[in-house]
Amino acid sequence: MFKGSIVAMVTPFHDGRVDEKKLKDLVDFQIKNGTSGIVPCGTTGESATLSFEEHERVIEVTIEQSRKRAPVIAGTGSNSTEEAVTLTKQAARAGADASLQVSPYYNRPTQKGLYEHFKAIADSVKIPIILYNIAGRTGVNIEPETIAKLASNCKNIVAVKEASGNLDQMSRIKALCPPSFHLISGDDSLTLPVLSIGGTGVISVAANIVPADTADLVNSFMEGDIKEAQRIHYKLLPLIKALFIETNPIPVKTAMGLLGMCAPDLRLPMSSMSPENLEKLKKALVDYGLLK
């Protein structure tokens, strides 16, 4: 469940509402192209602007459409512990295979507060929990010692999505946590380096548009074909750079609109790309062979 290329899937909108038909199409597209797991309602899914009803429905539709062909790891984190517990319980009842828990944003809790927050969520459900460490967006870093304590004391906290960009920190996590604890890259550009220090996969933004290549990179590395993994890594890099030229998920959603995969609709405060960055994104898509 926590290996390979796992997509951090966008939430498609149409006329201001969640486009459930397109959501189902995207789930099928991912599974057809070798994606190992699906994360609805993460950062890329614009979870912060979904209502509670929409959040619950997106997870339900994803689970229903996946039909156990790929595990669904529901994004159910919050900066309110009570809210995160409620969302996680709902996802568990709906049949989610696991939950992704972002560190509480804006509050800036201490390491003790982080530990108690995640432990309370883990204690409330039986499904596996993946921690999500992305200090650049939350304002707080989950220290390796805190992750190790959670991994030791909470049997269902089994992995971390590491998006700190700090390979030294990720190495410390691997050194401190039990061997069974999974380190998952949270940055597409660092997938190969993270695999090299013992990571098991990536929760990917790029997989929204190039799922087969993202899966092939991880699979090639795991099968021992390092040169092929390196080839795909360097092929992907210019595209990945373009997908983060503005705040995620603005570029990837725009790219999906250009490719006819879904409407490029975003919810404020996410806005359309600047003209100059849009041209850079288009060039990256053309150079990759995705757009003529």
Distance CA 185, CA 163 (A): 7
Residue 94 pLDDT: 97
Instruction: Name the pLDDT band for 28 (thresholds 50, 70, 90).
Output: very high
By percentage, how much of the chain surpasses pLDDT 90? 99
- Single-letter amino acid code for the residue at 114: L
pLDDT at 32 over 80: yes
Distance CA 80, CA 169 (A): 26
Residue with tokens 């069974």, as numbered in its chain: 180
Point out the catalytic residue in the list 22, 149, 161, 253: 161
> What average pLDDT does the segment 234-238 reach?
98
Residue 147 pLDDT: 98
Instruction: Name the pLDDT band for 34 (thresholds 50, 70, 90).
Output: very high
Our answer to whether residue 282 is catalytic in this structure is no
pLDDT at 103 over 90: yes
pLDDT at 275 over 90: yes
Residue 236 pLDDT: 98
Q: Pick 158 or 292 by higher pLDDT.
A: 158
> What average pLDDT does the segment 42-68 reach?
97
> What average pLDDT does the segment 197-226 reach?
98
For 133-158, how does the pLDDT look when each residue is reduced to its tens digit (9 = 90+)? Answer: 999 999 999 999 999 999 999 999 99
Residue with tokens 């921690």, as numbered in its chain: 131
Residue 231 pLDDT: 98
Assign 3-class secondary structure to the chain.
Answer: CCCEEEEECCCCEECCEECHHHHHHHHHHHHHCCCCEEECCCCCCCHHHCCHHHHHHHHHHHHHHHCCCCCEEEECCCCCHHHHHHHHHHHHHHCCCEEEEECCCCCCCCHHHHHHHHHHHHHHCCCCEEEEECHHHHCCCCCHHHHHHHHHHCCCEEEEEECCCCHHHHHHHHHHCCCCCEEEECCHHHHHHHHHCCCCEEEECHHHCCHHHHHHHHHHHHCCCHHHHHHHHHHHHHHHHHHCCCCCCHHHHHHHHHCCCCCCCCCCCCCCCCHHHHHHHHHHHHHHCCCC
By percentage, how much of the chain surpasses pLDDT 70? 100
Sketch the domain layout of the chain as residue ranges. Answer: 4-223
Q: What is the fold of 4-223?
A: TIM Barrel (3.20.20)
pLDDT at 81 over 80: yes
Cα end-to-end distance, the chain, whole Å:
36
Buried b / exposed e across 151-175, counting CB within 10 Å, b at 16+? beebeebbbbbbbbebeebbebbbe
Our answer to whether residue 132 is catalytic in this structure is yes
Distance CA 160, CA 77 (A): 13
pLDDT at 1 over 90: no
Distance CA 38, CA 30 (A): 8
Point out the catalytic residue in the list 132, 227, 235, 292: 132
- Single-letter amino acid code for the residue at 86: T
